[in-house]
Structure 1
């Protein structure tokens, strides 16, 4: 017989959806605008992301009978927002599609999966930390002109991280909105549709841009989203088929990329909310939480253009400050991971500095050069070590 899920299943799914969407939507909007998307194309991108999360999450949860919670790639959005302005939207969509195809190949071909497992987590995490650092520093640069805003957001963040860590980013977002509304700083909302619409763009593939943006997007999504998401499911007592999950989310990214979705992937932090005993007492029926979560994202997809225009009406300083606060936990995790292996710290630090510097040469961005510096440093260290042993 059909049984209604308990109330805590609904509340856990709702909280996870609100935190996942509200905590980082400002960053996604900023990233798409940096890449040259119009207001309508940004709305299409967010609609496609929410729709991909909803459809793939519900299908996989039903198929595997486990609460598979999906999200967009927050580190990937940070990487895209750090891209030098001037990239055309079709070329950006080509990068999204290339990164998604790499993810499908990784999940579908075991040999590629074994290669991916050999990517040093310290170097990949260092690249992510270097990408995130300028955004977090930007939070305090805003304080030069608006110290009250920065003081409020940082104060709410510090207190909430101690008292209600799961809701910290959501509370920061609410505080930022309240202060902006109280000051009357919200601009007139741009005109546009209320309900979600998908606007297809024919992708253009540029080899330099794919190397500079697409490959790093694939790597940060793999290391910072998909792999931790699999660990969360295993911690909750499930046995997730890693290859199928990575290939499945990658395929949904392929389908949604032409509409502007940069990456649909496994969630980590919000997944923990939906996979523990508090979400549903029966682990065998906890998959319904993943389906409910997907339903909430379907609603977000329905109204995503209106939500995008709401964020576009905020002053750029507020968007920059909210983005900086939202990325502090991700930066903390990345720095911790990049320093975890003592014998790889030199390479990790070099990667972090090269990426954070904003280095750009030969049409390739700092994320590519950061990875290259890190890999070369590791290879040189291992070659010298082996030469010393042979001597």
Structure 2
């Protein structure tokens, strides 16, 4: 394995540490023609995914930590508004579907951590995690590592990490067969009959209609009101740094950014790895100041916005990320009002639509992971198995260990594996 194995990760030119993009003016000028039905629907589906189940994890962590309503809303505002802002900064400049959100595994980790630390120490740990990620981005280390990793192993990690979306669709069908069945049929029938109408949008429309007809929407509990965010003064401690900051920083890099990089590569882009890391670090610091655990590049939502569901022309799929950024940021601003209504959507419908939107990315990932000519087949299989296992070691989630173990096995048994195929030559 050599530095040439991941050449596709490096855009054609750089400005210091940060990769050079197409520029905002070019991105904004081209945006209107790329705001098609497909790009808008893909961005909307990604936003619905990010604003439903993941929001529940944050709300659960806030309840476990005994946070007030204002602190919970501040947390939601921080990660959603800043996550949306990241999309609006990155996507037009690079003209790539780079989507911002927050670390979902990081939020899940805090379900336990907030029982051990008061929120002021947690906020301090959030800020320190952002500083760690920023330093890694500024150093250029992450970009060098990603360029060294073999493409098949990264693609296998992506397939293993995202396969749960496909299996969740099957599980949802068992729980709500009529709702899920109608949604799936609408998706594939539209795919067969129409090349212009987005199958995922048809699936969402039919799913909502069936949910309304069968009374599957969950009632809105409690009052719906606008709540102003509140700031929490951070406190800093070594214990919180080791228990929260370090694992959270690794999750941002090893779970979210690595997934986003992999799916962009799978779709033929040359992702700006260093810039993605730097903006995730800045997002982490700002989110921490506002009481949120991190705002960074999103893995699954980038997968939705970079897939064929966002349009046949991959040069215009960044428009889906822009749509997502607007909706995501708006959700953060109006979190106190929006949360109850979004959470009323049936969980089975959310899981089904997200799984259907991932089909293209999963197929491409499997194809690139196990193409014999690219080599590293054993390492790729190990990465796939580890990522699918969803294990957590040392508070670090499976995608990170999938890369580590996949590379280790490949180095041990595949020393003469062929180099991976070269990536696309252009940034867009």
1:189 is aligned to 2:220: yes
Q: CA RMSD in A?
A: 4.9
1:51 is aligned to 2:81: yes
- Structure 2: distance between partners of 1:166 and 1:150: 20
Measured after TM superposition, the shift of residue 101 of structure 1 is 4.3
**Which 10-residue stretch deviates more, 258-267 or 112-121?**
258-267
The aligned counterpart of 2:253 is: 218
* Residue of 333, 339, 344 corresponding to 1:313: 344
1:32 is aligned to 2:63: no
Residues 310-356 of structure 1: CA deviation (Å, up to 9, x unaligned): 23234444444444444444433433343246421212212222332
Alignment partner of 1:149: what SS? helix
1:380 is aligned to 2:412: yes
1:18 is aligned to 2:44: yes
- Structure 1: distance between partners of 2:204 and 2:258: 26
Measured after TM superposition, the shift of residue 189 of structure 1 is 0.8
Does the 8 A contact of 1:32 with 1:81 survive in 2? yes
Name the CA shift for 1:196/1:96 in 2 (closer, same or farther; >3 Å). same
Name the CA shift for 1:19/1:205 in 2 (closer, same or farther; >3 Å). same
Measured after TM superposition, the shift of residue 380 of structure 1 is 1.4
Name the CA shift for 1:250/1:362 in 2 (closer, same or farther; >3 Å). closer
The aligned counterpart of 2:278 is: 247
- Structure 1: distance between partners of 2:269 and 2:141: 23
- Structure 1: distance between partners of 2:260 and 2:399: 17
Name the CA shift for 1:298/1:288 in 2 (closer, same or farther; >3 Å). same
Task: Count how many residue pairs are aligned between Structure 1 and Structure 2.
Answer: 368
Does the 8 A contact of 1:156 with 1:168 survive in 2? yes
**Which 10-residue stretch deviates more, 330-339 or 178-187?**
330-339
Residues 123-144 of structure 1: CA deviation (Å, up to 9, x unaligned): 3333333333334223212333
TM-score where L is the length of structure 1: 0.69
Name the CA shift for 1:295/1:93 in 2 (closer, same or farther; >3 Å). same
Name the CA shift for 1:111/1:143 in 2 (closer, same or farther; >3 Å). closer
- Structure 1: distance between partners of 2:68 and 2:366: 34
1:174 is aligned to 2:205: yes
Measured after TM superposition, the shift of residue 374 of structure 1 is 1.6
**Which 10-residue stretch deviates more, 167-176 or 98-107?**
98-107
1:350 is aligned to 2:382: yes
Written as runs of structure 1 = structure 2, the 5 A alignment for 1:97-136 is 100-101=130-131, 103-136=133-166
Alignment partner of 1:144: what SS? helix
Measured after TM superposition, the shift of residue 164 of structure 1 is 5.2
TM-score where L is the length of structure 2: 0.64
5+ unaligned residues in a row in structure 2: which ranges? 1-27, 418-428
Alignment partner of 1:260: what SS? coil
Written as runs of structure 1 = structure 2, the 5 A alignment for 1:193-342 is 193-195=224-226, 197-198=228-229, 205=240, 207=242, 214-226=249-261, 243-244=274-275, 246-257=277-288, 259-260=291-292, 262-265=294-297, 267=302, 270=305, 298-340=329-371, 342=374
Measured after TM superposition, the shift of residue 14 of structure 1 is 5.1
Measured after TM superposition, the shift of residue 233 of structure 1 is 10
- Structure 2: distance between partners of 1:151 and 1:367: 31
Alignment partner of 2:219: what SS? coil
